Structure 1
């Protein structure tokens, strides 16, 4: 008997039952067929001789775990998960499940949890992603050489357009505004308010007014725009154009009261954002700085 057959015989003797192909068997009689040089046994149920020295298929099932090859870049995996989450939200609404996101992204659920331990962290990351995109578009609007009132109207329209174009995503992002779970930090509100504070500081500095009003104005403006746009998206009583005009008329008097109607863009502001869970700021200028020109028509 070869060493290979001895090993197989030892294994089968220690077995009480086994599975071979489609047969559920228990060894009854073990022997070596010297003519064929193959280890065989007689099954308990079928009394059928079965060759247990069959050749292993050329293509074996892949083992569990990460497949061979270079590891996935963590940032790429994070972005892929966020992309998948957005697609799931667009189809099913804000009540997302990690199992659906994992399936959409092509990852195991454990891979999703390794990046985002809970639903709040995922929604927070989505909110920061879209807030940063909103601010990038807003900065382009500020750079235009327009009267300040027109600049503000375009900013209002941009927010309303985002809400209208994302009827499922926007409510999910707004959940972080209504029910913060991470120490009071609300990314959608806080990051937009930080940006608006820097803008109002430039406006107030340009007209020689007290810049301490900037944060109050920013909080009131951002909160009003976000909540009014959400209310309108749930039940649009007026057209989007009318909504934009009404919101602009609502926020403009405060700016006009300090002489803002005499200003024109471009406006450049350096913004610093507060970190999650506290008042510390990331490595950006702590104070806003920028320029505005006088409107030649005033």
Structure 2
């Protein structure tokens, strides 16, 4: 019969998957901020006002949700870094802006940091943590700069992860102890990352020649 449709087939426009995905990520952030880093997909569904199957259709596992949240917040940190960096900034100033943006995010989003930072860099095969997302971006920039100088690029991978790990660990310590301002913390970390171990007394003192 003309105009007939199969029983049970929904009418109207289909689901906007990208919009639904963003709604679920928003709900996940609210759930984590109020319920802590251990929240699961059921809590996300309740926060979003959806049945659980709707969440599973977009994020089939908690790991996939964590990866999506990591991607979102890594991108936000990089965007914030760009906004803090004038067009004529030096490379050192860009580094300081990046470190400050990461410290600021950890300070402002303690529960999300505990959730996403707990993955550190790479977790399960289907998990790509927040810090690994940032380290990938740092590695790309380091590789480009080293290549432009005709230098060996193999160090870009470990250097980028050492930098991100140092900032994350130091900021966690700073939040716990409150021993200095964020500006001072950022400057100390910038000096270490920019000038390297040569500025550390441990590697540039009277013990350096001892076996």
TM range (shorter): 0.7 to 0.9
Superposition map of 1:1-298 within 5 A: 69-140=12-83, 144-177=87-120, 180-182=123-125, 185-254=127-196
Cα distance, 1:254 vs structure 2: 3.3
User: What SS class does the counterpart of residue 237 from structure 1 fall into?
Assistant: coil
Query: Is the deviation greater in 244-253 or in 186-195?
Result: 186-195
**Conserved in 1, the CA contact under 8 Å of 2:146 and 2:153?**
yes
In our comparison, the structure showing a higher alpha carbon Rg is 1
How many residues align structurally? 192
CA RMSD of aligned residues (A): 2.8
**Conserved in 2, the CA contact under 8 Å of 1:149 and 1:252?**
yes
Query: Is the deviation greater in 135-144 or in 189-198?
Result: 135-144
Q: Which of the two has greater helix per residue?
A: 2
TM-score normalised per structure 2: 0.78
- Which sections of structure 1, spanning at least 5 residues, go unmatched? 1-64, 258-298
TM-score normalised per structure 1: 0.57
Structure 1 74/130 Cα, relative in aligned 2: closer, same or farther at 3 Å? same
- Which sections of structure 2, spanning at least 5 residues, go unmatched? 1-7, 200-211
Of the two structures, which has the highest relative contact order with CA contacts closer than 8 Å and spacing of 6 or more?
2
